[in-house]
Amino acid sequence: MKHIGIRSYIESSLHVALSLLAFCNVFAMQQGVDLSVSLQCAIFGFGWVAYQYFHFIVPALVKEQRINLPQAIMLFSAIAIGFYGLVTQATTVWVVFGFVAVITTLYTLPFGAQMGLRYIPTLKIFIVALCWSTLATFELYNVVSFDFILIASKAILWILVLIVPLEIHDLNRDAPRLKTLPQVLGVRGVKLLSYALILLAIALAFMTATTNILAWVEMGMLALLGMLIFKVKRNQPKHLTSLYVEAIPVLWLGLSYFVLTYC
């Protein structure tokens, strides 16, 4: 029963939407930027919509299945939250969200099985990294240009590494033609690549965080992610892998807030 409850929570896409919101907040916090409540609603709401689009809407359209009542309630709730947050935003914010929405739509097209950018060999992981890093960094555009490049690069590294455990799990169901990183490099090879990217992200953490204590917290989170990648196996239940992976940004935000408040 416990695993059924966790699976239902993960499949609702609420967990990954909270993870996205935490990821965006922690990047803003590191630069001393406060995201408005309305912008946070837009990020959370439309992030939730995006993952419901992948998991509910596209399968329902392709397989001509009905969306059940709980799914419909979650979808309309996410849309309402998203529009509530976006309606008061500046034009530039609408442009950014429009760009991410277009990429999200093209990621998986609802016109037939295996249509969309995610089915182009090796591209899937980089599309996700582009969308998350765009939402996490566009409000930091007024940072000195060189620093912004480092911050955006670090965000991309973070997402690439976060996705690796899920990519390893999906080895059992991904078609060979997709040529995902674990398919191309093997499980051992993609883990070694992840460790190298983590070391690079740690270096960028100390170059971009406004305080050393936040950089140390980030290093701890990257070390935790490294341990999770070391432990992950392709035959683990995916809902548990998703639970642990997507909880890391939430834990990162909580610890960052704690050390800034009490240390």
CATH code of the domain covering residue 256:
1.10.600
- Reading the chain (263 residues) residue by residue, the pLDDT tens digits are 456 678 888 889 999 999 999 999 999 999 999 999 999 999 999 999 999 998 888 888 877 777 888 889 999 999 999 999 999 999 999 999 999 999 999 998 877 777 889 889 989 999 999 999 999 999 998 776 678 999 999 999 999 999 999 999 888 888 888 899 999 999 999 999 999 999 999 999 999 988 999 999 999 999 999 999 999 988 877 778 899 999 999 999 999 999 999 98
What's the total number of domains in the chain? 1
Domain interval for residue 110: 2-262
The DSSP call for residue 211 is: S
**Residue 98 near residue 129 (C-beta atoms within 8 A):** no
Q: Is residue 173 packed enough to be buried (19+ CB in 10 Å), middle (13-18) or exposed (0-12)?
A: exposed
Distance CA 1, CA 115 (A): 35
**pTM given for the model:** 0.94
Amino acid letter for position 216: W
Distance CA 229, CA 224 (A): 9
